[in-house]
Structure 1
């Protein structure tokens, strides 16, 4: 066994109902005096409660999917104008993504307070979109110095969005089994992440107002993101980044739709990954287990339901082909990618 594994430095606070106290403790630990709060308008009331006792210098609510460059520039300018010395981000992946965009050029530390299962808070990956092209990269400056997980903050997330966000987290796990820097530690984290999400997400669907299922799902989302941060982007995430940037598709739903098609595409040439997934799902193979979970959750099934047009498929295939990792288990060609993406567009059975 030979591998190189990087573990990212980060503090984690996990306690339901303790977001405000946790954020205050982390801001005090940083000795910060001028807090920039990033939270979308929809999270305004929640954010007000969490930061009520903090020295807030500015509140910034211009949050958009895929972090357009012009949006990032305005947030950076606001941080500089108000001399912010820490960022507190409260929200989902788009909010965390904007905080990372500011940290990328300013070096400001981030205290992240997630309200979904996106997982961006546990990675050093940033993403910016310009002219319908999403560019991603890795930089230690964008890794939040601390994450404050409070499961009660996810209670207002509707079941439909919880399912999509949770399957996005599960996609981090699956991709981590064959991504460019996959290793045994990533695999251990990913498999435990799948286990937690496979138990937690049905609990969320059955009892949306309960904490047990959501706690399991949030724990699984963290594990999935840590695995992904080390393993890197595999085929699944390359596809979804292309589709999100080019066609402004909703992030979580796109990941939820594409996942079974990528698993069906790669599993025949990734037997160890498939075996691990089969075992944790308790199914004959990974795809069968995933599909059983998706059926339980009434998961999103087709990209056309989210505004992706059939006429866009040829351009999407060409763009995806350029970004496929060299060591992807199954060799990607224009032909087999076209078949896969068309199936995901129409929602046919993965094969």
Structure 2
């Protein structure tokens, strides 16, 4: 018998395809926006300005200082521009850092957001915001955080560096993996999760072979969208808690941290999941956690927290922080076992599933 569940479809509008950035003016017109603030990182400033140029005077300012982990002081600086320019909407072009800044502005102003993702982060599909202040990252969820319009243009991902594509794609897979065993999960999200992981597992090796292969890029971006839907619809567990803890505390790169930790966090829970992971065995083999680790290595993804800059002395601190606030997880949270998990991830050892 199927268990009781509830499912509330997200209200965001999604436009997907190649060349869809050319629909931007139409989407802005539909929202009735006339004074947009363009957001980007410094590295993507020129690309963002080129995309936004079709809007002409509707873009009244550009803030190209989005930063990893959404630092509060950066958001406050952007808010000064929002207020000075009397902005009526936010246009975010980029990956998780830029999208996070747009969300941080939205929760403070309730301004509508239009997002053109250039990575596979998936943040654009969620009502979740993680902000960092004085080395501590906190997360909250609110429907005002979720962007109103997301324009996925496969063309914008063709020049995404292979290394960033891989770490970003594994980050997306992490969203779907944890959705499969979420305490508030449902069969609709599980279907999205398996299909999203399948699409990314198919697309990412093709990206490694040929960075500009459109079929592989399309498959990966489609998968990232579905995985983002999973992240925005159900609760996450140990893996996401660890990533936020490590990223905020040690300033580790977000996507790469997900890539390293995912097989280890899944191995921690795997013995308690029954047939939950059966849909992933075709892609990763009977031991899904170990298969994910092997898949990551085959793509050239980082496999150690050490290479990301985490000090070995931080392992104990991270384990304690991971237990600081209770949250649902298939396997009870045990400090010793979590410390061992982080230690293996720090050293790059294969994931170890509980017997």
TM-score by length of structure 1 reads 0.96
Residues 183-209 of structure 1, C-alpha deviation per residue, up to 9 Å, x if partnerless?
Answer: 211111100011100101011111101
- Whole-angstrom distance in 1 between the partners of 2:73 and 2:289: 40
Gaps of 5+ in 1: none
Q: Report how far residue 288 of structure 1 moved.
A: 3.9
Partner secondary structure for residue 167 of structure 2: helix
Q: Which residue of 2 aligns with 1:172?
A: 175
Aligned to 1:75: 78
Q: Deviations over 1:213-240 (max 9, x none)?
A: 1110110001001012111221111110
Aligned residue pair count: 348
User: Is the partner of 2:350 in helix, strand or coil?
Assistant: coil
How big is the shift at 1:23?
A: 1.6
Aligned with residue 191 of structure 2, among 188, 192, 197: 188
Residue 5 of structure 1 is aligned with which of 4, 7, 12? 7
Task: Answer whether contact 1:76 1:106 (CA < 8 A) is retained.
Answer: no
User: What RMSD in Å do the two structures reach over aligned CA positions?
Assistant: 1.2
Runs of 4+ in 1 over 3 A off after TM superposition: none
Q: 1:125 and 2:160 equivalent?
A: no
Answer whether contact 2:203 2:220 (CA < 8 A) is retained: yes
Where in structure 2 are the equivalents of 1:150-299 lying within 5 Å?
A: 150-279=153-282, 281=283, 283-299=285-301
| Cα deviation, residue 117, structure 1 | 0.3
Local SS of the residue matching 1:271 = coil
1:313 aligns with 2:315: yes
Tell me how far apart the structure 1 counterparts of residues 223 and 159 of structure 2 sit (CA, whole Å).
19
Deviation at 1:293, TM superposition (A): 2.0
Partners of 1:156 and 1:324 in 2: CA distance: 41
Q: Do the aligned residues in 1 keep the contact of 2:290 with 2:351 (CA within 8 Å)?
A: no
Q: Which residue of 2 aligns with 1:46?
A: 47
| CA distance in structure 2 between the partners assigned to 1:9 and 1:322 by the alignment | 33
Contact conserved, 1:14 with 1:149, CA < 8 A, in 2? yes
Which consecutive unaligned segments of at least 5 residues does structure 2 have? none
1:282 Cα offset (Å): 5.7
Superposition deviation, residue 324 in structure 1:
5.0
Does the CA-based 8 Å contact 1:112-1:146 persist in structure 2?
A: yes
Q: Report the TM-score, using the length of structure 2 for normalisation.
A: 0.95
Q: Which moved more, 1:226-235 or 1:193-202?
A: 226-235
Q: Is the 8 A contact 2:92 2:102 kept in 1?
A: yes
What SS does the aligned partner of 2:232 have?
helix
Q: Does the Cα contact within 8 Å between 1:180 and 1:325 map onto a contact in 2?
A: no
Alignment of 1:72-111 (within 5 A): 72-111=75-114
The aligned residue for residue 27 of structure 1 is: 28
